[in-house]
Structure 1
Amino acid sequence: MRSDPLTGGLRLLAKRDGFLTGPRAASPRRVALDYLGQRADAFGLDEDDLAAFELSHGYTSESGATHLQWQQTYRGIPAFDEGLRANVAADGQLINIGGAPRPDLAVASTVPRIGAREALHTVARSAFARVPLGPAGPSRGPQRATRFDRGHRASLVLFGDPSRVRLGWRVLLWAGTEGVLDAVVDAGTGELLYRNDLTRNAAALAFDNHPGAPQGGVQTPKDFSAAWLSDPGRLIGPNAWVHSDPNDTHFEGTLPTATDEIPPTGGAWNYVQAPQAGLICPAVGCSWAATSGGSWMTNRRQAGTQLFYFVNLFHDHLRDAPGIGFGASSGSFEGSDPLYAQIDDGAGTGMGSLPDCSSVNNASMIVLPDGTPGLMETFLWTSGCGAAGVYDVNGADDASIVYHEYTHGLSLRLVTDPAGYGALNGPQSAAMGEGISDWYALDFLEAFGFQPDTSAPAEIRAAVYENAAARTQGFDCPVGESTGACPGTPTAGSGGYTYGDFGRILGSPEVHADGEIWVETLWDLRRALIGAHGASDGINRVRALITDGLRLSPAGPTFLDMRNAIVQADVNRGFGDRDLIWAVFAARGMGVNARTSADNDTHPVEDFTAPPPLPGPPPPGDETAPVISGFTMTAKRFRVGLDRTPQAAAKRRRRTPVGSEFRFRLSERAKVVITIERALPGQKVGRSCRPPSRRLRGRVRCTRYKKQGSITRSKRPAGRNAIDFSGRIGIRPLPRGRHRVTVSATDAAGNRSKRRRISFTIVRK
């Protein structure tokens, strides 16, 4: 159980080694909402709060689990990052639930004092970006959703902090070289409340790896089938549209010119890479020359062909690979929202048809909510802007870079806020996003034989083709490695990194460096599962665990949240690898006693302890449910006492001076749960009893019950039992009036008794 520091609501409720509920033949939506309704007090919610949730997204993944997300709203305006997430197994068991919904979400007025255009200008000024907004379309709905001609958007949201909720404009601003900005501006004062850059950096002939690689380093014939190619005259299809963007002017809402398209020659894209004489070159030769204006044009069509091959191949892999299943229902890039992939981004932004130094040695991926195309930008690489030793090559020719960027699309579509925006933005979650992208890229290359992984350390690396120090060491560096192959850094030391190295690898937090902790851990898990189950089954398992972990994760996860989600994925899949998974994470400092406060915690506390093995299953054959009899209370009309009633305890407390006592008999030893509900007036609507309102005036009266809390007593003995009750749930007194109490018992085998129920009344002191 984790609480959110902003809302105080439950961020995540889960069992690491099991499910929250048993199997149930009901819809996943009903399973989740019924559980929430029965435990609304634990979330701090009332019936009005529950009625304000709007289902925004739901899909069923390869494991059979259904993944649901609701927005929390007030008068049709959604909360910025409060909502509800739930994951339900194929048999109706609830895996986890959370999202930190805010109790009594409301604002004094839903009318903004500043308009959408002014909010956009505020965000542009904050980033020192000169951005033309263009004309605005009409505002729509309670959110006053407004789109501008150049792709900018603005709509009303409710933005909460620990003390209050404010009406704000959520802005999406295409800010040119400053990135794509997701921001919130106070709709009353114009104050900037939040800002995040959504940009994530980092028949034809094509390479399978990169030019000159020992495996996959030679261009070979490829078939661009109808499933990839929908226009015989350019590189466009259901999954991707590849073109060049040398002036860095293409963004949402703008289209490439004819000269930016990549046409075939003689009906095919058989463009052979022509070596260039660059500043520093790999053995196979450079693909452009940083000292020769326009030299990148020589291999422009070849690079576009290569990128088209990479993105389509990886799209199909993520969709079809056992364990991953990133298809249309999960938010993949296809159909109405394909990937726009650009080569030579910014290649002509400098003097003499050369790139300026802000347009080299990078790659990026911009991911917006499902339904909007993604944008991948690949750049030229060179040592000419101060990056010593980097070759004059094109990043579009390197599978490790292209697959890394594409995986940002997967992770940012699976871990989202209630509005569908990617929710890997804090120091820890963003570092995991980088590590996850590295892992999926190298996992693919290793599995298909393009990146061998032997027992030697430091073989698994990215950006080898560019000769760039993109990472400090290989992803397969074991903890304690001392041969020199894994040098680490002066601030973190040598060998594989652990959780305690977070923020220390480069001397301060940096997402790519801190992401090395995560990718090294995941590579350990991959090797361990291959060792336990063989290459084929082991790879399928680790892909399933990591992908399902993303689906089960809360928004803004910490390393420990994602560790727990991977353990839960193992439980849901029934793999039985729980102890192996814990051993891997414990070895990297993410043991059972590791601690962190939140996603923005840059000083987590590591621990190397694995939890004890789970106890064995109960003795077979016990299918007899416990029986509760003689359930009564010593007083059914009483005042609230001064003493607290513990919500969970094994020992019996002394009798309260005022209050009552629950009495009953058990047929066998069992855990007892006593649930207390308050009786409230209501009016009938169909089969339900709703709170009274003007709209329902004249309806038949009824009694509805609102849960106040529960009391748990573990290992109650067979025979007579007595439990003191002061009229309080913990320290909170019950309100005056009529209540009902329900008792149930569950034995060690999981058999549950029939419920017993009686009523009582709390009176004035």
Structure 2
Amino acid sequence: MTTSRRGRGLLAATAVSAATVLVVTAAGGATAAQTAGPDQGKAAPAGKAVGKEKGYYDARTPSAKTTHARAAKVAGKETAASEKFRNSLGSQGVVEVDPNTGTPAQVTKLNGFLTGRSAKKAQDIALNYVKAHPEIFKLSAGDLATLRLRKDYVDDLGTHHIFWSQVVDGVEVFGNGLKANVTKNGQLISIMGAPVAGLSSQAQSRSAAAAPKLTAAEARTAAAEDVGGTAKSATAKTTGVNTKWNNGDTAKQVWFHTADGLRKGWMTYVNAGGTKIYSHVIDAQTGGLLYRRHLSSDGLGDALVVDNYPGAAKGGTQRVENLIYNKWLPKNAKTLLEGTSVAAWADVNDDNQPNAGETVKVPGTRTTAEYKLVSFPNAASSCSTSYICTWDPAKPDSWKTNLNQDVTNGFYLASNFHDWLAKPPISFTPAAGSFDAAGGDPVLLNALDGAATGDNGGPDGNHINNANMSTPPDGTPPTMQMYLFGNPFVPTSSSNSADILYHEYGHGLSNRLVVDATGNSTLNSIQAGSMGEAWSDFYALDYLVSHGLEKDTTAPGEVLEGKYVTHGGSIRTQANDCRVKAISPNCVGEDGSKGGYTYGDFPTIGGEPEVHSSGEVWAQTLWDLRERFGRGYAVSLITRAMELSPADPTMLDMRNAIVQADLVASGGKNAGIIWTVFANRGMGWYAGAVDGGDAFPAEDFHKPPTGATTTLTGTVTDKDTGAPVTGALVYIGGHASGYAGDYAGVTDATGKYTITNVAPGTYPKVVVSGPGYELLVQQVTVKAGAKADFAPRRNWASASGGGSVVDFNGPDYSDYGCGPGGAIDNAQGTGWGSTTGDDNGTPTGVMVPKHIDIKLPEKVDISAFNVDPSNTCGDPEDASTGQYRIETSADGTTWSTALEGTFTAANVGKYNLVTPTGNATDVQYVRFWMLSPQVPDFATNCPSGGFAGCQFTDLTEIQVFGTK
């Protein structure tokens, strides 16, 4: 029996300078250091394990190692013509080629446009450019004929954002297509999308084999079961290749392209209960999983509402707002808060449906406004006239007292924020993907979500101290779940806290603007997810400050997220307006460091890499831009940059997009200031990241260099044998992210590589990824005639080099992205998560040792093991491996100890090279034992000491070095 995988709570009550830290569980697929998860879970003491959902999966990019290997093959096939094209863009040109399609994922420049001014139609400008460069885009006339215009909208700077999907026989390709951005003057900013070349012929050859064997209903059921939910009983209506159920679930036939070819699939949107709201692509022939994305991100008309929070110095007193006059409700509205952009009810049983007793009558009588807030001053010591409590957790059903007020206030705030985001300079309009009843996708606001799910007239542990927002693609309604808050927070509701509700709404903004060619959000990795949290904080706090509801003077440390629920503190480790080296009690980190964060702080802000805390460096940088340029221009750049973003961006990618947004808006006049702001935060020209999943980026404080570029060459050889490593991808992290293209090369048969057009300087993350070898990252200084050689070690345990897991004990969490195979995938973004006690994860206080058996492709004399014992699968650091033992065998039957030891917190987050003390020759099998987690004083603190390690024990990676 497999238990539901559980990880760290999302709102952990960790005191930091009298503030409270918001932390998050990764949503399945990868560790918290890799994948953004929902704002959902249970408040608990620091380290307490709480609920967890399955996370992100994409068969097109199943692992970093696979992606790098595919990119190396693509780079190895580059022609002289495509190299000439890349070089023609200059040192700040960007050409990233998708490792599956071999076509560009992104073509752009940071210091200019791809084309000059033109009076031609924007669509024609983009398509003509693609036609003019077949050496890089590789699209034939037949391929261009598969393009179908999906959207062409103009932002408030006059820029056209154009999307084409690819369609064959009436069926759309999932994710691939073309995106183009063209200025109002007809200048091409960028082309993106990784279109499929030779699509029609591939579809024709697959037509017989690709005929769907699963029905739409079977695909819907498979999607629900994949995430441990159930497909709700509903009536279906089918039109062409689309099926829609009356509960909002959908299924649509699509083509799905991987490196292994084209497959027919069902793209589904399924609400399987609670926060199990997902988008899937299910293989139409096998029922297998091709894609999974958790959509939740972890907030007669006269109504009484608050603009900030109850008790706030400004916006804290209820006032009258007419919901019909503001056109948030239709004139004839009477019984339901079902408006033009929001439908709200109290989903107290968390079934995502408005049942009897959960809906609210439209407020207002002929003489009075309705739904006065009732205070609960004795509910907790944190209750006061400045931070009013709205329920009492000790009194069953006390939340019912303010049910009408709670739902109405949530409806008001969400409707108000919809209108605010629609105005310039944000301009989040229906064309851009906003949430509107007219477009079929109003926000479904579930106030008091799960308030009646507990046993004591209140919420259970999974429905308190948080909020979340699920965001499906444009046209499908998002769901906003607003929870109650209780101990250790101010007992209130998140529907009464503008900053929390606006934060959740902000997830809808970023998830609708950072999308692929077919409109699916691409905020998946830890860096992208961290920016998602930061954008939500930024837009929420920007609204409150710009309306005078919160103070922001020249003094740092004033702009706080979660001020209400924390009784004047923050749910972040620092204030949003903390400049670098700022002096303020609210600008002190968990480790006691003073001043705002820089890029190098990314993994340590909250004690470990995690999207909410790691995102603080991005939120503070955005506030720097706001201070430098003023609110209007800064917000315009920040929003427009999201529309210019490549898929699954790093913070460096988004820095580039902001530079490009200024290029569009001012002709690049402010580029120097923008680079200064980012360089000050450690995101300068030479800053490095392996990819979006890199939780340990390298910071740099330089602006872009000027002058001539040069070429970097070198040789990659096996460290143990000296033999050349063929087909290894070599790229400069921060300028390339494992794609073939600029700042990247691939080794030939002699192990030699060449990277052209490189600006001189010191690059802290030059990456080498070869099949069956360790991922090697080292610093390189580039100057004229620069040469950098690399000597990675053969990792005999690596799955890409022939290693395999042949046995293990404990539960299998592969469906959550942290099964045993994660320990040998050569990537630190994923790992093997297991239990401490029994297979159900029951914390017993007794460790049941867990082992993984790895078969090497050949017999090896082992020189060393390289182990990253870190927590994975969303668990906190105390779930990392502590005591361990490594055994070896020649035949997989007779085992002998090669090494025993103990890892501590000092070993977490990195590889640790350990040498066998014996039994290291003629080895074909390696067994790694996890003997204890890193829970301090395990015997005393488990099972009920509030540590996740009492329940789960993890290992991120084991590598085996030696010679055959």
TM-score normalised by length of structure 2? 0.59
Question: 1:324: which partner in 2?
Answer: 426
Residue type matched to 2:436 in 1?
A: E
Residue type matched to 2:292 in 1?
A: R
Structure 1: state its 5+ residue gaps: 384-388, 530-537, 616-645, 650-765
Question: 1:440: which partner in 2?
Answer: 539
Question: 1:183: which partner in 2?
Answer: 280
**Preserved contact between residue 297 and residue 469 of structure 2 (Cα < 8 Å):** yes
Alignment deviations for residues 107-158 of structure 1 (CA, whole Å, 9 cap, x no partner) = 52331233333323332232222333534333x43xx322234322222223
Distance 2:175 2:470 in 1: 20
Alignment deviations for residues 231-279 of structure 1 (CA, whole Å, 9 cap, x no partner) = 44243332222221111122xxx55546512332524543221111324
Question: 2:700: which partner in 1?
Answer: 607
Alignment deviations for residues 619-675 of structure 1 (CA, whole Å, 9 cap, x no partner) = xxxxxxxxxxxxxxxxxxxxxxxxxxx9999xxxxxxxxxxxxxxxxxxxxxxxxxx
Q: Which moved more, 1:462-471 or 1:519-528?
A: 462-471
2:454 equivalent among 350, 367, 370: 350
Q: Which moved more, 1:224-233 or 1:435-444?
A: 224-233
| Shift, 1:517, TM fit | 1.6
**Preserved contact between residue 129 and residue 178 of structure 1 (Cα < 8 Å):** no
Distance 1:281 1:287 in 2: 12
| Shift, 1:17, TM fit | 1.9
Tell me: higher relative CO, structure 1 or 2? Use CA pairs within 8 A at least 6 residues apart: 2
Alignment deviations for residues 174-217 of structure 1 (CA, whole Å, 9 cap, x no partner) = 11124211112222222222211101225332222111222222
CA RMSD of aligned residues (A): 2.5
Distance 2:287 2:187 in 1: 45
| Shift, 1:368, TM fit | 2.3
Distance 2:223 2:604 in 1: 32
Question: 1:563: which partner in 2?
Answer: 655
Given the superposition, is the C-alpha separation of residues 217 and 4 from structure 1 closer, same or farther in structure 2, using an over 3 Å criterion? same
Question: 1:404: which partner in 2?
Answer: 503
| Shift, 1:393, TM fit | 0.5
Structure 2: state its 5+ residue gaps: 1-93, 709-753, 758-964
Question: 1:113: which partner in 2?
Answer: 213
Q: Are residue 239 (structure 1) and residue 341 (structure 2) matched?
A: yes
**Preserved contact between residue 221 and residue 230 of structure 2 (Cα < 8 Å):** no
Question: 2:673: which partner in 1?
Answer: 580
Question: 1:83: which partner in 2?
Answer: 177
Question: How many residues were matched structurally?
Answer: 598
What are the residue-to-residue correspondences of 1:346-495 with 2, within 5 Å?
Answer: 346-383=450-487, 389-467=488-566, 470-481=571-582, 484-490=585-591, 494-495=594-595
Question: 1:714: which partner in 2?
Answer: none
**Preserved contact between residue 138 and residue 197 of structure 2 (Cα < 8 Å):** yes
Distance 1:215 1:134 in 2: 46
Residue type matched to 2:492 in 1?
A: V
| Shift, 1:597, TM fit | 4.0
1:228 equivalent among 324, 328, 333: 328
Q: Are residue 172 (structure 1) and residue 269 (structure 2) matched?
A: yes
Given the superposition, is the C-alpha separation of residues 170 and 470 from structure 1 closer, same or farther in structure 2, using an over 3 Å criterion? same
2:102 equivalent among 8, 13, 29: 8
Q: Are residue 263 (structure 1) and residue 355 (structure 2) matched?
A: no
2:615 equivalent among 491, 497, 515: 515
Given the superposition, is the C-alpha separation of residues 91 and 160 from structure 1 closer, same or farther in structure 2, using an over 3 Å criterion? same
What are the residue-to-residue correspondences of 1:496-575 with 2, within 5 Å?
Answer: 496-529=596-629, 538-574=630-666
Distance 2:113 2:303 in 1: 50
Distance 2:481 2:350 in 1: 9
Alignment deviations for residues 261-317 of structure 1 (CA, whole Å, 9 cap, x no partner) = 233252454322111132443312310011111111111122222222212221221
Distance 2:144 2:599 in 1: 38
Given the superposition, is the C-alpha separation of residues 55 and 503 from structure 1 closer, same or farther in structure 2, using an over 3 Å criterion? farther
Residue type matched to 1:328 in 2?
A: P
**Preserved contact between residue 557 and residue 584 of structure 2 (Cα < 8 Å):** no
Residue type matched to 2:277 in 1?
A: V
Which one has the largest radius of gyration? 1
Residue type matched to 2:500 in 1?
A: I
2:402 equivalent among 299, 302, 321: 299
Alignment deviations for residues 57-80 of structure 1 (CA, whole Å, 9 cap, x no partner) = 111111111110111233332222
Question: 1:43: which partner in 2?
Answer: 137
| Shift, 1:446, TM fit | 0.8
Alignment deviations for residues 358-397 of structure 1 (CA, whole Å, 9 cap, x no partner) = 11111122222222333222111011xxxxx211111111
Secondary structure of 1:340's partner? strand
Residue type matched to 1:292 in 2?
A: K
Secondary structure of 1:155's partner? strand
Distance 1:65 1:232 in 2: 38
Alignment deviations for residues 453-512 of structure 1 (CA, whole Å, 9 cap, x no partner) = 12332211111111175222111122234655322234x955322222333333443221
Distance 2:520 2:180 in 1: 17
Question: 2:418: which partner in 1?
Answer: 315
Identity %: 39
Secondary structure of 1:14's partner? strand
Secondary structure of 1:176's partner? coil
**Preserved contact between residue 185 and residue 191 of structure 1 (Cα < 8 Å):** yes
Question: 1:596: which partner in 2?
Answer: 689
Secondary structure of 1:137's partner? strand
Distance 2:314 2:625 in 1: 25
Distance 1:164 1:494 in 2: 52
Distance 1:614 1:395 in 2: 53
Distance 2:755 2:678 in 1: 33
Given the superposition, is the C-alpha separation of residues 71 and 601 from structure 1 closer, same or farther in structure 2, using an over 3 Å criterion? farther
Given the superposition, is the C-alpha separation of residues 259 and 119 from structure 1 closer, same or farther in structure 2, using an over 3 Å criterion? closer
**Preserved contact between residue 345 and residue 358 of structure 2 (Cα < 8 Å):** no
What are the residue-to-residue correspondences of 1:128-143 with 2, within 5 Å?
Answer: 128-138=228-238, 140-141=239-240
Residue type matched to 1:80 in 2?
A: F
Distance 2:755 2:469 in 1: 49
Distance 1:542 1:101 in 2: 33
Given the superposition, is the C-alpha separation of residues 493 and 262 from structure 1 closer, same or farther in structure 2, using an over 3 Å criterion? farther
Secondary structure of 1:495's partner? coil
Given the superposition, is the C-alpha separation of residues 319 and 135 from structure 1 closer, same or farther in structure 2, using an over 3 Å criterion? closer
Distance 1:192 1:418 in 2: 21
Q: Are residue 54 (structure 1) and residue 54 (structure 2) matched?
A: no
Q: Are residue 339 (structure 1) and residue 339 (structure 2) matched?
A: no
Distance 2:690 2:255 in 1: 25
**Preserved contact between residue 228 and residue 237 of structure 1 (Cα < 8 Å):** yes
Alignment deviations for residues 684-723 of structure 1 (CA, whole Å, 9 cap, x no partner) = xxxxxxxxxxxxxxxxxxxxxxxxxxxxxxxxxxxxxxxx
Secondary structure of 1:359's partner? coil
**Preserved contact between residue 296 and residue 347 of structure 1 (Cα < 8 Å):** yes
**Preserved contact between residue 579 and residue 613 of structure 1 (Cα < 8 Å):** no
**Preserved contact between residue 262 and residue 304 of structure 1 (Cα < 8 Å):** no
Distance 1:35 1:167 in 2: 30
**Preserved contact between residue 326 and residue 332 of structure 1 (Cα < 8 Å):** yes
Residue type matched to 2:416 in 1?
A: L
Secondary structure of 1:266's partner? coil
**Preserved contact between residue 269 and residue 305 of structure 1 (Cα < 8 Å):** no
Q: Are residue 148 (structure 1) and residue 245 (structure 2) matched?
A: yes
**Preserved contact between residue 645 and residue 654 of structure 2 (Cα < 8 Å):** yes
Secondary structure of 1:318's partner? helix
Residue type matched to 2:576 in 1?
A: F
Residue type matched to 1:260 in 2?
A: T
Given the superposition, is the C-alpha separation of residues 394 and 61 from structure 1 closer, same or farther in structure 2, using an over 3 Å criterion? same
Q: Are residue 290 (structure 1) and residue 393 (structure 2) matched?
A: yes
Distance 2:683 2:458 in 1: 47
| Shift, 1:37, TM fit | 0.7
Alignment deviations for residues 534-578 of structure 1 (CA, whole Å, 9 cap, x no partner) = xxxx21101110111111112322212211111111111117211
